[in-house]
Amino acid sequence: MDISQDRPLKGVRVIEMGSLIAGPFAAKTLGDFGAQIIKIEPPGTGDPLRTWRSPDNETSVWWHVQSRNKQSVAIDLRQPEGQDIVRQLAAEADVLIENFRPGTLEQWGLDYATLSRLNPGLIMLRISGYGQTGPLRDLPGFGVIAEAMGGLRYITGVPGQPPVRPGISIGDSLSALHGVIGVLLALYHRAANGGQGQMIDVALYESVFNLMEGALPEFDRHHAMREPAGSALQGVAPTNAYPCADGRHILIAGNGDSIFKRLMQLVGRDDLGNDPRLASNPGRVKEMALIDEAIARWTSERGLDEALRELASARIPAGKVFTIKDIAENEHYQARGMLRSIQLKDGSTLRVPGVVPKLSATPGGFDAGGPELGEHTATVLRAAGIPETVLAELRAKGVIA
């Protein structure tokens, strides 16, 4: 039985080029929903992600998340014969995803102008640090730099201290998700408006900047600079992390007007809850320190679990700071299908994240982890019409593996 038969992207063929995070994350997301993902990797080494955050020479467990639902085809793109193979595959593909430095595909004769002549319906997603145009296009771009240029790093951290890095590669992942949106839009346009493909240009820094809310118009109109605010959120009150009696912290979001009144009643500060100056967010922002002090006094007299129970009873949004251990043991994560177990080729099992988003009629899914390097080279290239004799010659020359 075809496990992808009820998934919405069944029949969509994607060629994934590039490595590590942004491009492969976009392809992984499309694969979760039924697209066939043909992942091109360099022979011998493969995608560097295979060894990231792994002990000794073991395959990275991250690999089994990022590369699920994919077919690995080992091709040396630096050799003309390898480039010819990609052109042949692209002629029959729906989507090609790459995250090389701009100009790389042009050097190989695999740019959009060339491939679209072979396949006018081809959709090409190009993810890079600064985009395919502009004065910075040729600079190497990584997610960490994009997070800084996009404005995120400046506002993240404690006032007066160096900017703090989020503990994940969020610039890459945001760009991947923007890329997925672009691919889905282009697929719809192709189906509804004449069958033509197009090129999608995603820049890492722009993906970060797209999430910067009202920072630019606030600066333009009011000359207001978003600044780092620690665990609070500048311009919104109250929302912060507050200390509990057991040494842990609780996150409380009491910034809705009616929620604020209930919160102040709960913490024994009806005087603040009924103060007309604090009835809406602009007034509360002016008295943020006073409000936070009142909440912190209440939380510091209770353990985390007790505080959570009382806040839930008062219908006030609150939560603890989850570690990955908390997540792995959480009943709600389990009930929502977000903690999945898969069996690897060595017979061991591995817990991995489930699929997001959840579709009611055509949900996504996966049954296994990432492929071995070159596991599907012969299968994919035979299906593309390359004879066995030619495959043997290419293998002997190191073009494929």
217 within a domain of the structure (yes/no): no
Kindly state whether residues 49 and 156 are assigned to the same domain: yes
Domain boundary among 275, 294, 320: 320
- Asked whether residue 225 is assigned to any structural domain, the reply reads no
Does residue 106 share a domain with residue 181? yes
The answer to whether 86 touches 93, Cβ cutoff 8 Å, is no
What's 184's DSSP letter? H
SS3 (DSSP) at 343 = strand
**Which candidate in 76, 172, 201, 292 is catalytic?**
172
Structure tokens of 379? 């299968």
Q: How far apart are CA 138 and CA 128, in angstroms?
A: 10
What are the C-alpha distances in Å from 81 to residues 77, 391, 394, 397?
A: 8, 11, 8, 10
Alpha helices in 119-214 (DSSP H): 143-149, 152-155, 170-192, 204-209
- On whether both 23 and 155 belong to a single domain, the answer is yes
Query: Of 320, 343, 364, which residue is a domain's last?
Result: 320
Considering the domain boundaries, does residue 4 fall inside one? no
Rounded Cα distance between 199 and 119, Å, is: 12
DSSP lists the bridge partners of residue 250 as 242, 320
User: Average pLDDT per run of 10 along the chain, which is 401 residues long?
Assistant: 72 96 98 98 96 86 97 98 98 98 97 97 98 95 93 94 92 98 98 94 98 96 94 94 98 97 98 97 97 98 98 97 97 98 94 97 94 98 97 97 97
| Within-domain flag for 329 | no
- Return the CATH number at 291: 3.30.1540.10
- Is there a single domain that holds both residue 116 and residue 174? yes
Domain span including residue 17: 13-210+335-396
Do the domain assignments include residue 234?
Answer: no
CA–CA gap between residue 273 and residue 258 (Å, rounded):
9
Domain assignment present for residue 385? The answer is yes
Q: Which pair of tokens denotes residue 384?
A: 């593309």
Do 140 and 260 belong to one domain? Answer: no
Are 385 and 302 contained in the same domain? no
Would residue 6 count as lying in a domain? Answer: no
Peptide bond preceding 238 in cis form (omega within 30 of 0): yes
Same-domain pairing of 122 and 33: yes
Hunting for tokens 């995803």 — which residue is that?
A: 97
At 2 the pLDDT is 45
Which residues on adjacent β-strands are paired with residue 38? 15, 71
Q: Is 121 helix (H, G, I), strand (E, B) or coil?
A: coil
Q: What are the beta bridge partners of residue 241?
A: 251
45 Cβ contact partners less than 8 Å away, ≥ 6 residues apart: none
Active site residue 172: yes
Q: Quick one: tokens of 207?
A: 């993906």
- Nearest residue to 215 via CA among 157, 150, 310: 150
Let me know how long the chain is.
Answer: 401
Count of domains forming the chain:
2
Residue 342, H or E segment: strand 339-343
Q: Could you give the CA distance from residue 193 to residue 240 in angstroms, rounded to a whole number?
A: 48
Answer yes or no: do 315 and 339 share one domain: no
Q: Residue 7 domain-assigned?
A: no
Residue 311 shares a structural domain with residue 373 = no
Q: Do 316 and 346 fall into the same domain?
A: no
**Quick one: 61 and 159 in the same domain?**
yes
**In the beta sheet, which residues pair with residue 37?**
14, 70
Please report, for the domain that includes residue 388, its CATH number.
3.40.50.10540
Q: In 3D, which of 194, 297, 201 has the Cα closest to residue 243?
A: 297
56 and 189, same domain (yes or no)? yes
Q: Which residue is it, tokens 């993902």? A: 37
Q: Residue 6, CB half-sphere, CA atoms under 13 Å: how many?
A: 10
Q: Last residue of some domain: 293, 320, 347?
A: 320
